[in-house]
């Protein structure tokens, strides 16, 4: 297992963010949009939204790719610590 800071961005092809619809609000959308906009790169971005019934909607951003900028890492770690989301790199 590697730390997020040790992973070479050249190996990562995909960032998947998993979150519940109940945690999705205007503030979260605004925050993630700003961080993603400020972190352009070559990693594909996927968002998996889970509803209260356990169904998942898989979203893929065709026009936006990201890099693992310091701001994006902090955003993901903080929200993961608060149990607002989970994410995986592959």
CA–CA separation, 3 vs 89, rounded Å? 11
* pLDDT interval class at 78 (50, 70, 90): very high
Q: Among 3-12, 14-23, 70-79, which is the least confidently predicted range? A: 3-12
Residue 10: the pLDDT is 72
Is 6 domain-assigned? no
Q: What is the tally of structural domains in the chain?
A: 1
- What is the percentage of the chain residues whose pLDDT exceeds 90? 84
Integer CA distances (angstroms), 12 to 3, 38, 62, 85, in order: 13, 18, 17, 19
Which residues, 6+ apart, have CB-to-CB distance to 15 below 8 Å?
43, 44, 45, 46, 66, 68, 87, 88, 89
Q: 67 is in which domain, residue-wise?
A: 11-89
Residue 77: the pLDDT is 96
Is 5 domain-assigned? no
pTM over 0.85: yes
């Amino acid at each position: 297992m590697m730390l997020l800071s040790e992973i070479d961005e050249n190996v990562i092809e995909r960032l998947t963010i998993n979150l519940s619809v109940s945690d999705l609000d205007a503030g979260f959308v605004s925050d993630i949009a700003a961080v993603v906009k400020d972190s352009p790169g070559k990693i594909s971005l996927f968002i998996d939204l889970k509803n209260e019934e356990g169904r998942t909607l898989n979203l893929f951003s065709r026009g936006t790719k990201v890099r693992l900028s310091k701001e994006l890492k902090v955003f993901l770690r903080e929200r993961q610590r608060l149990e607002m989301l989970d994410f995986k790199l592959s």
